Structure 1
Amino acid sequence: MDDKQLQIWVEEISLRSFGVPFRHRARFNGRLRTTGGRYFMKSHDIEINPAQLETYGTEEVEKIIKHELCHYHLHLTGRGYRHRDPEFKALLQKVDGSRYCQSLPGQARRKPLPYRFKLVCSDCGMEYLRKRRVDPKRYRCGKCKGVLKLGNL
């Protein structure tokens, strides 16, 4: 499938599911890695991850397109278009769009940074684990108000 066929497909889905035409550009973007698609608020264009189509097929991509069209139509009408907005959630459920896209195989999940630093209270021995380095002079122990010392794990 190329960009021209995707454009026609998005226009058909918009008319069939929303009853309103899609008047902007839809295209594939092979650089997308962690998302199925995205909607641009300034240009009102939609980009779709082609790897989703290759991996999961047209049914899953149609749900992604419906998700992006929910952003599109709600934004253009001045209603709540963000993921957290109740209008977005209701419209997405009404048109049977996907809330989240499936992760692609081979994509490693990001691991949270392990704790690298430890603040230790010199009075009571209370330990505070931190991912980022902090200046211990700016803080005191929350338990006894003692002086903190920075150490590595």
Structure 2
Amino acid sequence: MEDKELQQLVEKISNDSFQKPFKHKAVFNARLQTTGGRYLLGSHNIEINRKYLEQIGINEVISIIKHELCHYHLHLEGKGYQHKDADFKLLLNQVGGARYCSTLPNRPTRKIRKTIFYMCEQCGTQYRRKKVINTSKYVCGKCRGKLIKVKELTVD
């Protein structure tokens, strides 16, 4: 599916489900990582994550489009368009849009988190850091004593 076909699909869904025209642009955005789509407040355009079409299918994309069109139409009408607003929740329920999109099956695994523990040689104060620090450059914040690395934990 190309951007032109996506534009036609969004216009059709807008007319069929909302009985209102979609007068702006709908495009695929390959940079979206953690969301199925987004409505841009400034330009009123809608961007859709192509991965949802490729990995889950057209029904998921239609649900995402309905969700974004709820933001679009409510914002243009001056009503509550945010997720927390009652207007948004009501309209989303009426048109059958998804509150949340499905998780992509081929989504990369989480980053490995590292925690490093340091301790002051003089006063025994312990410090927990996510990044390695240069112990010859940094000293204890309480007594200015020398810091030593105690242990390092790695969590998946």
The TM-score bracket by the shorter chain reads 0.7 to 0.9
Aligned counterparts of 1:88 and 1:112: Cα–Cα separation in 2: 37
TM-score for the superposition, normalised by structure 2: 0.73
Cα separation, 1, equivalents of 2:112 and 2:90: 32
CA offsets, 1:122-142, max 9 Å, x none?
A: x9x998866589x975xx9xx
Q: Residue 55 of structure 1 aligns to which amino acid in structure 2?
A: Q
- Compared CA separation, residues 136 and 21, structure 1 to 2 (3 A): farther
- Is 1:22 aligned to 2:18, yes or no? no
Q: Shift of residue 116 of structure 1?
A: 3.6
Structure 2 vs 1, CA of residues 80 and 119 (structure 1 numbering), >3 Å: closer, same or farther?
Answer: farther
User: Which TM-score applies when normalising by structure 1?
Assistant: 0.74
Question: Residue deviations 1:96-152, cap 9 Å, x none?
Answer: 1111111222212435845444789xx9x998866589x975xx9xxxxxxxxx875
Distance in 1, Cα, partners of 2:112 & 2:92:
30
Aligned residue in 2 for 1:70: 70
User: Conserved in 1, the CA contact under 8 Å of 2:27 and 2:46?
Assistant: yes
Q: How many residues align?
A: 145
> What is the rounded CA distance, in whole Å, between the counterparts of 2:74 and 2:127 in structure 1?
45
Specify the code of the residue in structure 1 equivalent to 2:95: V
What is the CA distance between 1:54 and its match in structure 2?
Answer: 1.5
- In the alignment, structure 1 segments of 5+ residues that lack a partner are 141-149
- 1:17 Cα deviation from its structure 2 partner: 0.9
Q: Which residue of 2 aligns with 1:36?
A: 36
1:116-127 residue pairs with structure 2 within 5 A?
Answer: 116-117=116-117
Aligned to 2:154: none
Q: Structure 1, residues 28-63: CA drift from partner, whole Å, max 9, x if none? A: 122222211111111100111111111221111100
CA distance in 2, matches of 1:95, 1:112: 40
Partner residue of 2:87? 87
> Partners of 2:116 and 2:82 in 1: how far apart?
35
Q: Indicate the percent of aligned positions where both proteins have the same amino acid.
A: 53
Superposed CA RMSD in Å reads: 3.0
Cα distance in 2 between the residues matched to 1:119 and 1:14? 61
